[in-house]
Amino acid sequence: MIIYELHTGTFTQEGSFEAIIPRLSHLKELGVNAIELMPVAQFPGNRNWGYDGVFPFAVQNSYGGPMGLKMLVNACHVRGISVILDVVYNHIGPEGNYLQDFAPYFSQKYHTYWGPAINFDAPYSSEVRNYFIQNALFWFRCYHIDALRLDAVHAIFDMSAKHFLQELSEAAEAFSAAEGRKRYLIAESNLNDVRIIRPKEQYGYGIDAQWCDDFHHALHALLTGEREGYYKDFGTIEHMRGAVQSGFYYDWKYSHYRKTYFGSSTRGVEAFRFVVCSQNHDQIGNRLDGRRLSMLLPFEAAKLAAAAILLSPFVPLLFMGEECAADTPFYYFVSHSDEQLIRAVREGRRKEFQVFELKGDFPDPQEAGTFAASKLDWKKRSEGKHGTMLELYRTLIRLRTELPALKRLNKDGVRVKEQGSTPLLVYTRTWEDNCVLCIMNFSTETRKWSLDEPDFSWSKRFDSSDESWSGPGAAAPSVLKFGESIETPPYCFLVYERNRTK
């Protein structure tokens, strides 16, 4: 999969399912074969990220309702694009939430950041578990959704002998077998716990894949220099090397942010079980200024961020507009009607920013202008450096399909070359007789590197410094041979393919 996360309300000016359809040809041309919709379960008002949904079986009316979603899914499938839907099973939104009036849907044993936890292990929890399992099957059966992204599973509290996630994965597996086509479950988790993605035969929960925070945090901290909040645990080239090699850097290492040892080893876990990104809705929208990575970095560094994701051995996820270095922000926005709740949201955002030591004014989440400012500007997509970035993404995605070593998602085929503290990331990816060499300079200075393998020569497939990519000019040789020293300009990345003859 090449996953493309989008928010229905801001992906187009119209903000509807139907308005997405004419844009699918652009995504197909880019190389995207799966779109991931942020939550569409009915929420209060007409603008929201979707995580305040209160009717899990209803489709947001302001987006086009049930028929609009079905039209979009059909249009995607005709074009060979899968549809992933973001669902929220860890909490229900605060406004319009009446589930507690009908049954014990909520637990008093636990509390989440967003309010009362769902009752997954207290009395009558079996019926509650079934409610959410049937919701997952509902999206598969009635809307032909191909995969579900499970929001913040670390906030699903369950001390049962069989965790809710395992029961959910078993239900999805049974449904897939009956239908003759695999449906997938992808978790968002900040636990670095491989039990979530290990198959049940290995005493795991059987979830197919999960978002990999360590990869994002390592890349973001290294490129931006930010060290606030959870970025405190990252920022060196060693973090990036570990993330490329294993997915999780923290595999029972000490976390200064958490002040304890954290994470588990990914040894034996397949690479396709990790979804990586350089940015997503959370990492942009939860910033004080809502700025994208391309708005924080020099153009050369933004190109390097793209390469780090698309050349990795994991499943890449792009956030809408990233592929063309969009310069529109993506803010957090709501349209609640309860004044007390609106004040609470504003205060909550202020406290969140304090954790990251961010000070200053931020766009009011309740204001319609905040939502409007977050809409993509499609007119700039092919202009100047926007167009250059778009072509860069398109070319890197094409390389992933052309070169077997890049196409095959295989951690065992990754060999990271030790460079000490030098901010160079050098690694090979190998599949059968195909081998690709990736050289990435995460420094503001030119760095030298020499090939230490005497038996082969390598042909250059990509050089981000080339003037065709708005770079300073290519200096690396077209053919790389043993002992030859090459210079990599600041934020440059190079891709070489090993020649088949010695």
Please identify every residue annotated as catalytic.
151, 188
Residue 49 CA to residue 63 CA, distance in Å, equals 12
Q: Where are the beta strands (DSSP E) in 45-190?
A: 55-59, 82-87, 106-112, 115-118, 147-150, 184-187
Contact (Cβ atoms closer than 8 angstroms) between residue 252 and residue 290: no
Residue 326 CA to residue 211 CA, distance in Å, equals 23
Which DSSP symbol is given to 168? H
Residue 429 CA to residue 92 CA, distance in Å, equals 43
Tokens of 393: 């993404």
Residue 241 CA to residue 360 CA, distance in Å, equals 35
Residue 348 CA to residue 371 CA, distance in Å, equals 18
234: left (phi over 0), alpha (psi -120 to 50) or beta: beta
DSSP calls for 282-325: HHHHTSSS---HHHHS-HHHHHHHHHHHHTSSSEEEEETTGGGT
Contact (Cβ atoms closer than 8 angstroms) between residue 431 and residue 408: yes
In sequence order, what are the residues at sequence separation of 6 or more whose Cβ sits closer than 8 angstroms to the Cβ of residue 376?
Answer: 10, 11, 12, 320, 321, 326, 328
Residue 217 CA to residue 257 CA, distance in Å, equals 12
3-class secondary structure, 429: strand
